[in-house]
A = this chain, B = another copy of it.
Amino acid sequence: MSRVTVLGTGLVGGSVGLAARARGHHVTGFDLDPARAARAQALGAVDAVAADLAGAVAGSDLVVVAVPVGRAAEVATAAFDAGAPVVTDVGSVKAGVVEAVEATRPGAADRFVGGHPMAGSEQDGLDGADADMFTGATWVLTPTPTTDPQVFEVVRDFAVGLGAEVVAVSPRHHDALVAVVSHVPQLAATTLMDVAARRGEEHATLLRLAAGGFRDMTRIAASHPAIWPDICVANRAAIVAALDDYLDALGAVRALVADADRTGLLDLLERGRRARRNLPVGTPTDAVLVELRIPVPDRPGVLAEVTTAAGVLGVNIVDLEIAHSGEGAGGVLVLVVPEASVAGFEVALDELGYHHARRRLT
């Protein structure tokens, strides 16, 4: 139970407020648009509305920046200037905001943890806000070598408290991953819809022939356009790289079709089918858990190194604790992870030079 500040009371900010209040946190909200902040309060998303950012941040334990991607860094910086002890954000692009905070407030960067809850709604704005938006959702955190482990713990505990599963990934990795699974798919769907609509102007039957597969593929083309230019600009490099991968792969498929290469086409289609069928549908909640106790030296970067090594393997961090040992400068990093995914992670820890003790939790 702590004092949480939400800066920006739109869809995600409002949902964070609703979810946090439902778990007993006290939530103060601020929004550049006072009417929106007032509506957030009327909807029960915040306990109180502050008149300005400084007022919202005063006395807060954790500040959640929930503004459009393009403005997250300046708002996070302003929160630190107003005395925030710990700041996180919820934007869908991470390297830019993390690096901007490091560059402009190097003294505070260890207390900023980038975040990205992979949850949302078809609805835009506060009307779609939902106290259960994060239940079972993956919430990515992007620690860096400068991240203070205790600060990471605060943000992680908050996200897990809201029902999310936390995965730690470096900011650059995060951006590359979402370019592939979110940003390029959005652009690909929109472009496909656009190409079909242009052809449909010449022949109206075209869109009548659009069956279930086409509808599925273009569904996200109907999402709200406003957030996307910001995202595309903020994640420009990773999107261009992922689009180039996709263009190369489509070019190879074009060659298979032009060459009437049945074997190559069948290989591709079978590979795609296998991959689609193996797409995880969320980790089972009744998974057996394992506690790993990892003695770690007291040097920067250990937290990011260990947690993002788990992220590379898709291992979610069910629990995390930093136990300082009485003797010497080091401590013990206690991680709880699902047993099903622990084997690969233990190998990775060994390779990184971390010895550890394992205990099955029952």
Contact = CB atoms under 8 A, between A and B. Distances in A.
A330 interface: no
Contacts of A352: none
Contacts of A299: none
Interface in A224-270: 224-226, 228-230, 232-233, 236, 239-240, 242-247, 249-251, 253-254, 256-258, 260, 262-263, 265-266, 268-270
B195 A246 contact: yes
Contacts of A190: 253, 268-269, 271-273
Interface string A265-285: 110111111011111100000
B205 A311 contact: yes
A197 interface: yes
Interface string A213-228: 1111111111111101
B253 A243 contact: yes
A74 to B, nearest CB: 18
A interface, how many residues as a size bin? 35 or more
- Looking at chain A's contact residues, is the secondary structure mostly helix, strand, loop, or mixed? helix
A215 to B, nearest CB: 7
Interface stretch (A8-16, A79-87, A148-156, A176-184): A176-184
A193 B278 CA distance: 11
A343 interface: no
A289 interface: no
Interface in A176-213: 176-178, 180-182, 184-197, 199-200, 202-211, 213
Nearest to A167: B205
A181 B204 contact: no
10 contacts: A140-B209, A173-B203, A191-B268, A197-B278, A199-B245, A203-B312, A216-B220, A222-B276, A228-B269, A233-B260
Give the 4 A-B CB pairs with smallest separation, nearest first.
A204-B314, A225-B269, A190-B272, A197-B275
Interface of A: 118-120, 138, 140, 167, 169, 173, 176-178, 180-182, 184-197, 199-200, 202-211, 213-226, 228-230, 232-233, 236, 239-240, 242-247, 249-251, 253-254, 256-258, 260, 262-263, 265-266, 268-273, 275-280, 311-316
Given A190-B253, A222-B272, 16 more contacts: A169-B205, A173-B205, A177-B205, A182-B213, A182-B214, A187-B253, A187-B257, A203-B311, A204-B313, A207-B314, A226-B266, A229-B263, A232-B262, A239-B257, A243-B254, A246-B250
